[in-house]
Structure 1
Amino acid sequence: MPTERITFPGHDGGELAARLDLPDGPVLATALFAHCFTCGKDIAAARRIAGRLASMGIAVLRFDFTGLGHSDGEFSNTSFSSNVQDLVAAANWLKARGMAPDVLIGHSLGGSAVLKSAHEIHGIKAVVTLGAPFDPGHVTHNFSASLSEIKEEGSAKVTLGGRPFTISKAFVDDVCAEKLAPAIASLRAALLVMHAPGDETVGIENASQIFLAAKHPKSFVTLDDADHLISRAKDSEYAADVIAAWLTRYVDLSPPATADGPPEGVVRVSEADPEGFLQDVQSGPATHIYADEPKEFGGTNRGLSPYGLLAAGLGACTSMTIRMYARRKGWPLDHVTVDVTHNKVHAQDAETGKSNRIDTFVRTIGLVGDLDEAQRQRLMEIADKCPVHQTLEHGARVQTKQRAE
């Protein structure tokens, strides 16, 4: 999936650094992602969620707020209000590009910011919060020991996440004065609240308050045992899957008639995790699975292995072929199962010439129903007519060419 590195002017005219994660095919919707307090656009959760949504046809713009990451400005001069205005600036940039955002997604304090900014961004259909505080002033607990100094001196240097930041009294005053209840109550978009019950940074009660303050349509989904930063890959991928499925009720994610994505008959495989082996496998806009390797081979075991996918293809094709024949004959076949194992065994045919070992797939077929012996025997014979079986036995030629970018 292509990612563009861009900049656009923020609330004060300074350049904000951003990444625009784009689908390989058509852009079905656009999301604007707001990161957590003092984090950045490249935090693992933002990167993984954006990549996963892009694989489903949703473009995602994620950027560093003023004074953070690679963006211009001084963090000490920013506030919650400036973050909200940076989000509005990001939405305006997307609109100018012809990609006005349909969805706002905010993580932690970024979730509070998208709730506040939604009414200033025309056309928003859905808002998603991840571990967001109901009261933006909640963020001050991160530097509570320095609040007295900030009040007396006007600012103080604090360490957050191992990095130094200067927190101003103006920031504290602004974030503590902000009340989200009116903005949530007047939200003119569907709301999805996602939160982990064990979140030790922003308690689950914040999710309850956000949910109760909102009017329908609204949904709540737990992130189970995820940490506040949603740092584990399986948690961020789960969040992205839920977001994409939920969005289909409120955002049209059907491809245009002239879709330039994978055409009918094309299976597209793209890396989901360049540091491992996890792959996104797509066949058209509606079908998606993962491929991976077992943990003992350096993978994460979150999908079938390549040979597992090959075996699955053989098993599925066999079952479908048997079912079609039995249906056409009107035979009482109630259920079909196909177990497939794969091994490399010594070749009996020395004429292969290339190797003394060949791939062998063993199928064990289960036929359930009031079938007589002749019918069972015929269905076993029909199994060999499966097209994938025929391809594997007869061999195939693989042609390779480079895709034009």
Structure 2
Amino acid sequence: MPTEMLRFPSAKGHELGGTLVQAEGEWVDAPRATALFAHCFTCTMKSHAAVRLSRALAQQGVQVLRFDFTGLGESEGAFARSGFAANVNDVVSASEALSAGGHAPALLIGHSLGGAAVLAAASRIPSARAVVTLGAPYEVDHVLDQLGDSLKRIEKDGSAQVEIGGRPFEVSREFLDGTRGQGQRSRIETLRRALLVMHSPTDQIVGIEHAAKIFTAAKHPKSYVSLDDADHLLTRAADTEYAAGVITAWLQRYVDLPRE
């Protein structure tokens, strides 16, 4: 599958790394649309969901840029001092890099906390006509629950090393400040983009009630599709292939996507 490595600056001047997965087959020279994918909390653009979903969409003619948030994977900067606000700025920076290359994104896709980030960034991306969330939290503070008892140590000492998903991460008070009080409800209410909420009712990390709150807050046009028994990280290939098929079909109504 043809890919292109991209490097582009963040709002704070750090170099971020991304991979543009190019459309395949008859769509190689003229992609049906361009999408921007934001990965889950502490994941990277090499996560199962990021890789498989971008490949599946590329096979259907939609090219996808997946990238690493500040301080993760191929991107520079300190994860410890980033937080959700930095994630939102990174989404905007990625969209600007695509636009500069003549591929302004019509679709924003976000997985888990990346879903919350694309909801928050959409109003700052003029080319975006549609937004898709997969297992996204409604309250951004929800992600801080994963810090457990370390939250008090971070507040007291200014920073602490925590274990998230079996891996160690340094997290600072600046990270907490950049994640709390984000006002997602008003952002969702004024989204003014077509919205597709995808969520598994058996998600053990971000409960299905978050999908209900996002869907209720959003104005039409909006749609909800159940991911049935998929796990939060979408580790099964069948789940990402299903999601890609639904997204492509849904896009037909909201983006100038040539029909096959």
The corresponding residue for 2:5 is: 5
Structure 1 residue ranges (4+ consecutive) displaced by more than 3 angstroms after TM superposition = none
Question: Who is 1:23 aligned against?
Answer: 23
In 2: Cα distance, 1:41 partner to 1:227 partner: 18
- 1-side partners of 2:144 and 2:86: how far apart? 17
Deviation at 1:158, TM superposition (A): 0.4
Tell me, in whole angstroms, the C-alpha distance in 1 between the residues paired with 2:193 and 2:159.
37
- 2:233 pairs with 1:229: yes
What's the TM-score, normalizing by structure 1? 0.62
Residues in 2 aligned to 1:182 and 1:69: alpha-carbon distance in whole angstroms = 31
State the Cα distance separating 1:90 from its structure 2 match: 0.5
CA distance in structure 1 between the partners assigned to 2:240 and 2:21 by the alignment: 16
Match of 1:190? 194
Corresponding residue number in structure 2 for 1:150: 154
Aligned mate of 2:222, from 213, 218, 241? 218
> What are the superposed Cα offsets for residues 34-90 of structure 1, whole Å, 9 maximum, x if unpaired?
000000001011101100111111110000001000111111121111111111111
Say which of 92, 98, 101 aligns to 2:105: 101
In the TM superposition, residue 163 of structure 1 has moved relative to its aligned partner by: 1.6
Corresponding residue of 1:345: none
Residue identity in the other structure for 2:76 = D
Aligned equivalents of 2:243, 2:256: Cα separation in 1? 19
2:70 matches 1:66: yes
Larger CA deviation: 181-190 vs 157-166: 157-166
Q: 1:138: how far off?
A: 0.1
Q: What is the CA distance between 1:5 and its match in structure 2?
A: 1.3
Find 2:91's aligned residue among 87, 92, 95: 87
The correspondence of residues 252-291 of structure 1 with structure 2, limited to 5 A, is 252-254=256-258, 286=260
Partners of 1:70 and 1:86 in 2: CA distance = 13
Report 1:16-55 matches (<5 A): 16-24=16-24, 25=28, 26-55=30-59
Q: What is the CA–CA distance in structure 2 between the aligned matches of 1:211 and 1:188, rounded to whole Å?
A: 13
Distance across 2 between alignment mates of 1:170 and 1:72: 17
Aligned residues: 256
Secondary structure of the corresponding residue to residue 6 of structure 2: strand
Query: Which residue in 2 is equivalent to 1:206?
Result: 210
**SS of the counterpart of 1:248?**
helix
CA-CA distance at 1:173 after TM superposition: 2.5
Match of 1:271 in 2: none
Question: Does the residue aligned with 1:199 lie in a helix, a strand or coil?
Answer: coil
Matched residue SS, 2:35: strand
Give SS of 2:19's match.
strand
Q: Compute the displacement of 1:206 (Å).
A: 0.2
TM-score, reference length from structure 2: 0.96
Instruction: Extract unaligned runs of 5+ from structure 1.
Output: 255-284, 287-405
Aligned pairs for 1:256-335 within 5 A: 286=260
In the alignment, residue 27 of structure 1 is paired with which amino acid? P
2:161 and 2:182 map into 1 onto residues whose CA distance is 23
Q: Which structure 2 residue ranges, 5 or more long, are not aligned?
A: none
| Structure 2 partner of 1:120 | 124
Report the RMSD for the aligned CA atoms in angstroms: 0.9
For residue 162 of structure 1, report the CA deviation from its aligned partner.
2.2
Q: Does 1:138 align with 2:130?
A: no
Q: Matched residue of 2:231: which SS?
A: coil
Separation in structure 2 between the aligned mates of residue 134 and residue 179 of structure 1, nearest angstrom = 10
Residue 6 of structure 1 aligns with an amino acid whose one-letter code is L
Residue 7 of structure 2 aligns to which amino acid in structure 1?
T
Looking at structure 1, the residues matched to 149 and 235 of structure 2 have their Cα atoms a distance apart, in angstroms, of: 26
CA distance in 1, matches of 2:54, 2:230: 18
- Conserved 8 A contact 2:38-2:114: yes
Once residues 173 and 98 of structure 1 are traced to their aligned partners in structure 2, the CA distance between those partners, rounded to angstroms, is 35
Q: Deviations over 1:262-295 (max 9, x none)?
A: xxxxxxxxxxxxxxxxxxxxxxx62xxxxxxxxx
- The residue aligned with 1:247 is 251
**1:179 shift after superposition:** 1.7
Letter in 2 for 1:233: A
What percentage of residue pairs aligned between the two structures are identical? Answer: 54
Q: Report which of the two structures shows the higher radius of gyration computed on alpha carbons.
A: 1
Instruction: Return the alpha-carbon distance in structure 1 between the equivalents of residues 119 and 138 of structure 2.
Output: 10
